[in-house]
Chains A and B, each alone.
Chain A
Amino acid sequence: MEMLASDLITNLLIFLLASLLGLELIRHVSKLLHTPLMSLTNAISSVAMVAALIVLSYADRTFIVVLAVLAIACASTNAIGGFMITERILRMFKRDDNKKNDSKRDDKK
């Protein structure tokens, strides 16, 4: 395989832009949500599965197939587990409904 210098430059540019965008997005995440944020980004990092599928498609030796399949298993643990636990955590965050009702009652008075 051969990495072209032009590809490298383009990819570096994409990497830098995505990093800057990420920094900007994450800065605005409420501190309240830092735990689910981490489980979400962790689930997103299982995008490594894409790489595993690509490598598997041209794997020509059992040894390499095994590595790629192991990687797919690891990444899918992360993906399924990550998105599910994020959902479970986020469901728990509730507003105070009683208080809202109280204030509505106050308004009526």
Chain B
Amino acid sequence: MTFIASLASVLPELLYVLSAVLFILSLRWMSEVKTSRRGNLAGAVGMLVAVIATVFAVGLQQYSLVVLALIIGGIAGALMALKMPMTAVPQRTAISHAFGALAAALVGTAEFFHNTPNIDAFTMAILGLEVILGYLTFTGSIIAFLKLQELISGRPMIYPYRRVISILVLGGALVAGIFLVLNPSTIWLFVLMVLLSLIFGKLLVLSIGAADMPTVIAILNSFAGLSAAGLGFVLNNKLLIVAGALDGSSGFILALLMCKAMNRSFANVLFGGFGSAAKAEGSGGSEGVHAVQKTMKSMDVEEAAPLLAYARSVIIVPGYGMAVAQAQHAVHDLMDMLEAKGVKVHFAIHPVAGRMPGHMNVLLAEADVPYEQLKEMDAINHEFKHTDVALVVGANDIVNPAATHNKGSPIYGMPILKVHEAKTVLVIKRSPGGVGFAGIQNELFTYPNTSMVYGDAKEVMNKLVQCVKEI
């Protein structure tokens, strides 16, 4: 009897261990496509176990409120998961980081108000950091969502002394936190800390361009995890610490990979105001744009189709433009048509193509392109020189050869897909003007082996399919 009684008393803890193991297995199984769905299931079961164990452990009173919150939240989440088109996955991810961070921040806030003024220094320090991180991730993610959904301009917002202002705001929040550690009864300081954190998150992401969102989303992902881990310290709950640390490290690695793929540092992404030169160059330098146009060759779809149809090998390079035009299905049709004619077709995926890590892979998977045909940059870059046609669909900076040799270029040093080494390069682009998100003209477009095909990516693709079919 005593054994069973003692077992019952540690049951919640045991369930937490099970849940932590499931989370770890979940990430382990996520490493390859074959086991990935099992990974997702393990994660979901782990979460269910954690929630049941908690309800069991704390002897909850307000069941009806909890059930109501679960139903409302669950329906909202399910609607978002089912209704959002795949091209909107970056936005959905950003908004869900906002929810995750807000949840953690609200719990931290509740914990503060419940215990003030009886909070020891250690707890207050971690609680303060957790609350700052949670609220800044909340507003930062909201801004990221607005930018990705194009409800506000994707251009970085640049104003005088923005770095100084941002740092002062964050510094203010931290100082408020330090004073709270010394005297955890000052409620107005806590409120001030929350407000400054909210403002800092907003300022931080407002000054970052839409093209840098892959890195920003990864960082926010990391922050959302870390704030959950912070709650674990405050509540002395090991499961929260483990799950939060796993999420934190995941976001961190993804952010690191994104930075590496752009040859930039965290600081440069967060505070660099990258792409801000675009406006000045675009509006002031109309002569320059004109000069470049002169040297760019363009081609009709009818001329481009035979080049593809009679090629031995074609590498398709998708970019954010493919997502915007929803051209992924048309791209798949073209692939089928070309393969039927005996052309070898591959896809070259740059790590920062699109608006979040892995964005292009998801879109092409949605269009039923088999994933074996999607090649990572390092795996395919040496293939371009043996390739007849490189077809660039809505990508720009990631194929700009200036990155390899022009030290004055803002993207100098960024690893690129070497499409210019292909015998012929076809670039599908909406219009002759315009620049990439880095705000610079792409010198690839002026290369002798490059031809531009102007038009909406989806329409051009559909026309190409028709023309290739008739050959």
B231 close to chain A: CB less than 8 A: yes
Is there a chain A Cβ closer than 8 Å to B303's Cβ?
A: no
| B residues in contact with A18, CB < 8 Å | 241-242, 245-246, 249
Question: Which single residue of chain A is at the shortest CB-CB distance from B214?
Answer: A34
Residue A7 at the chain B interface, CB threshold 8 Å: yes
Given contacts A51-B240, A52-B106, A57-B61, contact A95 B30 (CB under 8 A): no
Chain B residue contacts of A41, Cβ below 8 A: 27, 221, 225, 246-247, 250-251
Per the CB 8 Å criterion, the residue count for chain B at the interface is: 116
The answer to whether residues A80 and B81 also contact, given A41-B251, A65-B62 and a CB cut-off of 8 A, is yes
Which of B108-116, B143-151, B393-401 faces chain A? B108-116
Are B359 and A14 in touch, CB under 8 angstroms? no
Judge whether B89 and A85 touch: CB under 8 Å. yes
Which residues of A sit under 8 angstroms from B5, Cβ to Cβ? none
User: B84 at the A/B interface (Cβ < 8 Å)?
Assistant: yes
Shortest distance between the CB of B373 and any CB in chain A (Å) = 7
Write out, one digit per residue, whether chain A residues 36-80 have a CB within 8 A of any chain B CB (1) or not (0).
111111111111111111111111110111011111111111111
Q: Are B92 and A85 in contact (CB under 8 A)?
A: yes
Are B26 and A40 in contact, with the CB atoms below 8 A? yes
- Known: A41-B247, A47-B240. Contact between A77 and B99, CB under 8 A? yes
**Across the interface, do B237 and A51 meet the contact criterion of CB distance under 8 Å?**
yes
CB distance from A64 to the nearest CB of B (A): 5
The one of B28, B70, B104 in contact with A51, judged by C-beta atoms closer than 8 angstroms, is B104
Separation in Å of the A75 CB from the closest CB of chain B? Answer: 4
Binding site for B on A (CB under 8 A): 1-3, 5, 7-8, 11, 14-16, 18-23, 25-61, 63-65, 67-96, 99
A-B contacts, 23 listed (Cβ < 8 Å): A3-B123, A11-B241, A15-B232, A32-B361, A35-B359, A36-B362, A38-B221, A38-B250, A44-B23, A44-B243, A45-B100, A45-B247, A47-B47, A48-B228, A48-B240, A49-B103, A53-B54, A56-B60, A57-B58, A82-B77, A89-B365, A93-B33, A94-B370
Give chain B's interface residues, CB within 8 Å of chain A.
23-24, 26-28, 30-33, 36-37, 39-40, 43-44, 46-47, 50-51, 54-55, 58-62, 65-66, 68-70, 72-74, 76-78, 80-82, 84, 86, 89, 92-93, 96-97, 99-100, 102-104, 106-107, 109-111, 113-115, 118-120, 122-123, 126, 217-218, 221, 224-225, 227-229, 231-254, 257, 349, 351, 356-359, 361-362, 365-366, 368, 370-374, 376
